[in-house]
Structure 1
Amino acid sequence: MDRFKHAFANGKAFVSYSVVGQDGLAHSKKCVLALIKAGVSILEIGVPFSDPVADGPVIQKAMQDALKRDTNIFDVLKLISEIRESSDIPIVLFTYYNPILNADCKDIYAKIAAAGVDAILIVDLPLEEADEHQTNCNRVAIKPIYLVSPVTPEPRIKQIAAQNGAFIYYVCRKGTTGIKSDLPKDLAEKIQQIKQITSIPVIAGFGIANKTTAKAVLEHADGFVVGSLLVKTIQAGASPNELARIAKSVDPR
């Protein structure tokens, strides 16, 4: 079953991002389940890493908090397998390459697939160095996801589109993740450029944190990602129910 096709067939997608273990594994599970009940379409589940260069201060702190609790990739996969017991929601494993390379097991990709992961986004792995990763994804039937930014040239977009990913993740601004109040002026033009090249869904992320911005994104993209806002809400001590309320408040669909 292609869970992504089902998700996009139901309309525009709301993708939530979570850092597993930032407030303990049990709390992470409750928060993810609350997000599912709140109506998110796709889960991005983040693996804690000590040097998250693509992330801003909010997510960096969440990862540090998770690492202080000794959270590792196997804890993340265990949580995903528990979520999968009660939900068919598409799940993206969002990670840096180091936790994959340093995983102490014979076949980490097989374990990722067995946990119920549908796709994997390795944020610091460029396409030019991804042959082995791509081969492993194909072997265990996990879809790859690659990033496209405002400065990605058209030939590279075509190369990324040819990888048959679950969707294209459009990083709608330069810099790191974080909470922003506006959108870049070239958003529509850049997403249209991608859509002229491929029919693969385009999801926009980095900085989306309110309903107005999310609605503007959905005028052009197939979905939007909310990350830092949700992570910060958990950092502030919100309950899973409060997290769900915040998620609903951003959703313009």
Structure 2
Amino acid sequence: MRLLHEAFAKAEAENRAALIAYLPAGFPTVDGGIAAITEVLDAGADIMEVGLPHSDPVLDGPVIQTADDIALRGGLKIADVMRTVRAAHEATGKPVLVMTYWNPVDRYGIERFAAELAEAGGAGCILPDLPVQESARWREQAAAHGLATVFVVAPSSTTERLHEITSAGTGFVYASAMMGVTGTGESVGEAASTLVRRVGAVTELPVCVGIGISDAVRAAAVAAYADGVIVGTAFVKALLDAPTEEAGLAAVRALTAELAEGVRRRG
């Protein structure tokens, strides 16, 4: 978790929000995914979320689901996800988390997953479908291996629920900018800023906003009140739309530079 703390501290010292990017492992291939993720980190992202593709995602919209399908049809294994985390972290020295759903972790083995993620240099895990009240086994293993556990909060979360979630989480809080799945919203509304204020009132953890952010203008608007800006679908779409792997790398590099400039404008 040390690298996460350092990433947020660096962004705060520079009077900006941290830029957090998401790309799934194994997309378009395992090696192609590693190349894209490394490109994004080198181009200015502070933190990377590596997706572990799952056949039944609850938070991912159609764009990310398409990429997940490509990865799964390519035979992606959890070992490939760990290799992706290791390669990205070793190449850049930046914090890399895994974003996944509880079923793959539970089936793989909680202690095994946590140990392998830590050994690969991973900073933590985001588990959007793991209820806090059922998370004790995971949090015990995560703490034992120095991994952050990031939970997702939504605009509909009650104050009592926010207390419960933020007390259990570590690293940062993932604040969903709107109700629904990734990649389907047209804009980030006032609900996001209100949620950040509400979360900030109950925790000292950094609060990072995701869902609905796709360009520098939106990134700047969110950076005005959040500690971090999370972008996923736009990166995946850039790779999907590219005619070649080289063009895809150029596209995600350009998008990262645009977003990195946006989080520095802060509205």
- CA shift for structure 1 position 242: 2.1
Unaligned stretches of 5+ residues in structure 2: 12-16
Distance 2:77 2:191 in 1: 38
Structure 1 segments, 4+ long, off by >4 Å, are none
Residue 102 of structure 2 corresponds to 97
Distance 2:232 2:169 in 1: 25
Residue 151 of structure 1 corresponds to 156
Distance 1:141 1:119 in 2: 8
- Higher deviation after alignment, 230-239 or 216-225: 230-239
- CA shift for structure 1 position 90: 1.0
1:190 correspondence with 2:195: yes
Task: Report the secondary structure of 2:20's partner residue.
Answer: strand
Distance 2:128 2:163 in 1: 19
- Higher deviation after alignment, 140-149 or 104-113: 104-113
CA contact (8 A) 1:206 1:225 kept: yes
Distance 2:64 2:36 in 1: 16
Residue 120 of structure 1 corresponds to 125
CA contact (8 A) 1:179 1:208 kept: no
- CA shift for structure 1 position 39: 0.4
The number of residues matched between the two structures is: 253
- CA shift for structure 1 position 52: 1.0
Q: Deviations over 1:142-170 (max 9, x none)?
A: 11000110011111211222225100000
CA contact (8 A) 1:15 1:43 kept: yes
1:245 correspondence with 2:250: no
CA contact (8 A) 1:182 1:213 kept: yes
CA contact (8 A) 2:239 2:251 kept: no
Residue 4 of structure 2 corresponds to 4
Task: Report the secondary structure of 1:144's partner residue.
Answer: strand
Distance 1:13 1:205 in 2: 12
Distance 1:106 1:13 in 2: 30
CA contact (8 A) 2:48 2:97 kept: yes
Distance 1:135 1:104 in 2: 13
Task: Report the secondary structure of 2:23's partner residue.
Answer: strand
Task: Report the secondary structure of 2:99's partner residue.
Answer: strand
- Structure 1 residues 61, 164: CA separation in 2 closer, same or farther (over 3 Å shift)? closer
1:24 correspondence with 2:29: yes
Normalised by the length of structure 1, the TM-score is 0.95
Residue 14 of structure 2 corresponds to none
Distance 1:240 1:158 in 2: 40
- CA shift for structure 1 position 136: 1.1
